[in-house]
Amino acid sequence: MFYSDDKKQYSVLNRRTFFLYLLKVSFFGIVGWRLYDIQIKNSEKYKTLSKNNQIDVEIIYPLRGKIYDINNKILASNTKVFDVYIIPENTKNINKSLNELNQIIKIDFSDRRKIIELSKKVKKFEKIKVLENINWSELEKIESNKFNIEGIFISQDYMRIYQYNNTVSHLIGYTNKPNREEVELPFIANMPNLEIGKDGIEKSFNPNLIGKSGQREIEVNSYGRVIREISRQDSQKGNDIYITIDLRIQKYALNLLKEHKAGSAVLMDINNGNILCMASTPSYNPNKIIQKPNKEYWDSILENELSPLTYRCIQGLYAPGSTFKMVVAIAGIVHGVIDTNTKHFCSGKIGLGDRLYHCWKNNGHGLMNVSDAIKESCDVYFYEISKKIGIDKIAEVAEDFGLGKIYDVPLPNQKKGIIPSRDWKKKKYDESWYPGETLISAIGQGFVLTNPLQLAVMTSIIASNGKNVRPNIIKKNNDFEFEKLEKYQNAIKIIKSSMFKAVNESKGTAYNSRSESTPFAGKTGTSQVRRITVAERESEDFRKKDVEWKKRDHALFVGYMPVENPRYAVSVVIEHGGSGASTAAPIAKEIFQFIKKLET
């Protein structure tokens, strides 16, 4: 059954195998010739094709989300602008092109140098921005000369715009190119030219506002011209943000503040903690920061010694002065040191150790109970009771009322302030507490420092009968209740009636600012910015208007409205305003009246 010795078959098979081998040689020859043809003979042709055919990935930048106020008014959005670019490869002489362009629109000399330097670094067909946000007449001029200037083209872009200039600038912030560290942020990822929020809401909500980048793969030839689009993934617009600010109140408050050099006004809705107004002066215009060239404006801001970039509502720290007395009184009542009948005699000063502690009223208030002491802001009464309460208990109550805290709201760079205690001083200065410091603290001076937002929160907690109100800046749809601090109920009742008297009864410190149409309650505060010398005190003119502005006292007022079932709490601080009663209280009154008008 085995045929392997069949000679004839093997010779046939050998012939066939040889033939197949020839076939193989010839086919390999064909393929080899083909490769020679492509890789050697026509190599030059394919090499240029290879260079000409470049695939570029172009990032499609997302449109930044808008920012709205509580009534859906646009506070920040994007506007179409025109930018001028140059493509180095499209011009024989980049210097010449820039010169020609310069005759139409002035290009900064240093900018020109940068462009020329950049053109040496980037790919020849990469576009370089020459001018940003040109106006219509400039656009027209360039358009009509476009063909005379080599390498120039105009591209439409988007720029951030703030509709109300400096009205909400501190709160919203502004956008700008990321710095070296910010480029590493995960949400920037592949978008190095993205403008990102640098301050305020723009900064806190960068991840939400930015959106998602898209990209398109494009095939470009050596001139940078797009031959075809290979794939496209559109960018996703950033989310819009709705904040709790009521633009009408914000504008109104800002105008009131503008009568003074520097100050702030914070208005909160105590039911939900919504911040309706948070104005700070002096302020700045974010549009002028965004629009280049901005160097002049930027320098003017930095040189301004009132520091317009500071958001006083959360970054300004002030001794709360007499507005702190509510906290001390509540501490006294809660810890049983005083009740409504406890009286102290004010002769204008008390002594402790070898020092004298003065009341603001040099000849004294006479016999005072707690209600009168708040109404007339008697310092001696609080010196007396603070000695018995002690600084630690005062500090504890102050913190319960929201002072000395940074709130969990998306506002960057809040300043915490100081609520002093024995422990605090030990840690900070490695020194023990002196009894005299308790007295100074009891009238909101000395170490005590608060920011205006904290004072508004404190007032909200009092006005809401002890609800643990926390500020809120992002509009929420669901209603919620703050938890109630039960232990302060009784004390708050006494304090609230005293605050009512301070505004609405004669001898009350804010009696001159009372409003028939819009009754409100509150407390003035006047905080010293320097120590008053004995000589000045005796000369009796240390409160006169003609004291140098920088040496004048800060004026404060905190208050709430309406008196029954309060809804709004306010804090007003006027830097070097003289006294709370004369400058801060009237502003609070105007704001309350304005709200009342809005409501009707």
Rounded to whole angstroms, how far apart are CA atoms 161 and 167? 13
Only one of the segments 4-12, 234-242, 404-412, 500-508 lies at the binding site for another protein (rule: CB under 8 A); that segment is 4-12
Only one of the segments 2-10, 106-114, 354-362, 549-557 lies at the binding site for another protein (rule: CB under 8 A); that segment is 2-10
Q: How many CA atoms lie within 13 A of 420 on its CB side?
A: 28
Total residues at interface with another protein (CB under 8 A): 38
Only one of the segments 38-46, 71-79, 425-433, 521-529 lies at the binding site for another protein (rule: CB under 8 A); that segment is 38-46
* Closest of 363, 61, 52 to residue 224, by C-alpha: 52
Residue 298 binding another protein, by CB under 8 A: no
Only one of the segments 34-42, 78-86, 314-322, 541-549 lies at the binding site for another protein (rule: CB under 8 A); that segment is 34-42
CB-wise, 4 or 517, nearer to another protein?
A: 4
Only one of the segments 18-26, 97-105, 150-158, 389-397 lies at the binding site for another protein (rule: CB under 8 A); that segment is 18-26
The residue type at 264: S
**Residue 113: CB partners within 8 Å, gap ≥ 6?**
none
DSSP per-residue codes, 217-239: EEEE-TTS-EEEEEEEE--BPPP
Rounded to whole angstroms, how far apart are CA atoms 332 and 326? 10
Residue 38 binding another protein, by CB under 8 A: yes
Residue 31 binding another protein, by CB under 8 A: yes
CB-wise, 52 or 103, nearer to another protein?
A: 52
Residue 28 binding another protein, by CB under 8 A: yes
CB atoms within 10 A of CB 245: 29
Residue 232 binding another protein, by CB under 8 A: no
Residue 35 binding another protein, by CB under 8 A: yes
Peptide bond into 320 cis (omega under 30): no
Only one of the segments 40-48, 399-407, 558-566, 592-600 lies at the binding site for another protein (rule: CB under 8 A); that segment is 40-48
Contact (Cβ atoms closer than 8 angstroms) between residue 453 and residue 267? no
* Closest of 341, 368, 346 to residue 359, by C-alpha: 346
Residue 302 binding another protein, by CB under 8 A: no
CB-wise, 232 or 507, nearer to another protein?
A: 232
Contact (Cβ atoms closer than 8 angstroms) between residue 444 and residue 550? no
Only one of the segments 24-32, 321-329, 451-459, 512-520 lies at the binding site for another protein (rule: CB under 8 A); that segment is 24-32
The residue type at 423: D
The residue type at 447: F
Q: Smallest gap, in angstroms, from Cβ of residue 252 to another protein?
A: 59
CB atoms within 10 A of CB 37: 11
State whether residue 119 is helix, strand or coil.
helix
Only one of the segments 43-51, 323-331, 372-380, 447-455 lies at the binding site for another protein (rule: CB under 8 A); that segment is 43-51
Residue 3 binding another protein, by CB under 8 A: yes
Rounded to whole angstroms, how far apart are CA atoms 168 and 256? 15
Residue 227 binding another protein, by CB under 8 A: no
Q: Smallest gap, in angstroms, from Cβ of residue 183 to another protein?
A: 23
Q: Smallest gap, in angstroms, from Cβ of residue 316 to another protein?
A: 54
Rounded to whole angstroms, how far apart are CA atoms 304 and 302? 6
Q: Smallest gap, in angstroms, from Cβ of residue 25 to another protein?
A: 8
Residue 17 binding another protein, by CB under 8 A: yes
Question: Could you give the string, one character per residue 480-519, with x where binding to another protein holds by CB under 8 A and - elsewhere?
Answer: ----------------------------------------
Phi, psi of 88, deg, nearest 5: -50, -40
Q: Smallest gap, in angstroms, from Cβ of residue 474 to another protein?
A: 42
DSSP per-residue codes, 181-216: TGGGSTTTTT-TT--EE-SHHHHHTHHHHH-B-EEE
Per-position b or e across 562-580, b if 16+ CB within 10 A of its CB: bbeebebbbbbbbbbbbbb
Q: Smallest gap, in angstroms, from Cβ of residue 35 to another protein?
A: 5
Residue 425 structure tokens = 């001083």
**Residue 40: CB partners within 8 Å, gap ≥ 6?**
none
**Residue 138: CB partners within 8 Å, gap ≥ 6?**
104, 105, 131
CB-wise, 40 or 534, nearer to another protein?
A: 40
The three-point CA angle 484-246-66 to 5° equals 110
Residue 468 binding another protein, by CB under 8 A: no
Rounded to whole angstroms, how far apart are CA atoms 299 and 441? 39
CB-wise, 17 or 307, nearer to another protein?
A: 17
Residue 4 binding another protein, by CB under 8 A: yes
* Closest of 391, 375, 401 to residue 455, by C-alpha: 401
DSSP per-residue codes, 244-267: S--HHHHHHHHHHHTTSSSEEEEE
Residue selected from 34, 177, 225, 355 as contacting another protein according to rule CB under 8 A: 34
Question: Could you give the string, one character per residue 194-223, with x where binding to another protein holds by CB under 8 A and - elsewhere?
Answer: -----------------------x------
Residue 135 binding another protein, by CB under 8 A: no
Residue 55 binding another protein, by CB under 8 A: yes
Residue 9 binding another protein, by CB under 8 A: yes
Residue 190 binding another protein, by CB under 8 A: no
Residue 532 binding another protein, by CB under 8 A: no
Q: Which is it for strands 67-68 and 241-242: parallel, antiparallel or unpaired?
A: parallel
Residue 600 binding another protein, by CB under 8 A: no
Residue 1 binding another protein, by CB under 8 A: yes
Contact footprint for another protein (CB under 8 A) = 1-4, 6, 8-9, 12-14, 16-17, 19-21, 24, 27-28, 30-32, 34-36, 38-40, 42-43, 45-47, 49-50, 53-55, 217
